[in-house]
A and B are shown apart, each in its own frame.
Chain A
């Protein structure tokens, strides 16, 4: 049923620390790897090698050069499903393949019901859904439900693959519906924000903004002293120019 469930209070999601993320893409690779061997059909690569390599990824890391009035900085932004409260991708689904799991709010796709119309990908403001060319069904982040649900796993492994693998611990997983959870406290402490809040989709995941930097010496502009040489080099320059 593609109507949204009445909230059970539990909202599993990710908190991603943009201050720590170094843009190494390990989360994206771990995601691709885990979700290609799990319960669902693999994430296919239509052209895995060569200049036109293309395939499905559920997590993609963008890198931006950002101007903040303090000299600017580089921002790495891992982009994946935010498991929205009012998930527009779920309500547009004509078949009931897309659904939001009532007990913890994870947004999932039943691949046996998906007709591959692509409307859910259009409805998502965050580009979180990609149609798999090989199987013709929609793929998206499952928060690694097959890890979380698996009681045979060690407790440390019952988290999404991206969180388990992040070498800088920039990714956190937990219940954002519980104000006392570790992730909720992190969001409260650091002013965690939702991307494109104007979408009205009510994203559950939060991004912790880069910390304000201490005022320091103005960054040296590259190439500032690359004009006319002085001293010995000036003499050499004049001699060689003659």
Chain B
């Protein structure tokens, strides 16, 4: 059972600032973590391998070089290998360009049975990369998986969460699934895992190494562009009434009437 788990490095806080010039996140001074939803994907990948014995779990991410830290964390949490796709050409990619880049790298790896992603990231929140990946690879896709029931004879049977309850879906392999947090409780790293992760190699692949069409990656390959990111302005005004208490109350009532509240 060869599993590929796609991870994203995200800021480990909800208090992020946006650079008004470039409309991108200011990542300096913010601790980066594995996207929380992806930790469930990684755990499920490792459990699947443990359950069916042979094979390996490869953690994959596209991101800047500092994402190597979360790739090492993935190794400490049970991934056998880690591949980081990093190249200036990948910068500014939207979900489609990201999915294309990941798909090229997955094709380079070759043999794989399941590709697992988290349901969405906590920074972009689109939930699009998983399904787009399946589309580009031309393989089946199941979203919101809450349980892998069985994998046998080149097929997988899963439960997926839908609003009214659960659906049981069977698919041929290879396939892409995205998982919800109900699927497992991710393990904590082990001391040996941490030691191993410090010295384990993290493969860093550039655009050339995965043979991408440069017009389809990064900002150039993106169909969508972020024009502006902004925080809604909070406007608050205050007014102080002065004078006798009675006239203050009258002023207040008049003002409230003006606003249409009374």
A, B assembled together: no
Residues of A within 8 A of B (CB): none
User: B residues touching A (Cβ–Cβ < 8 Å)?
Assistant: none
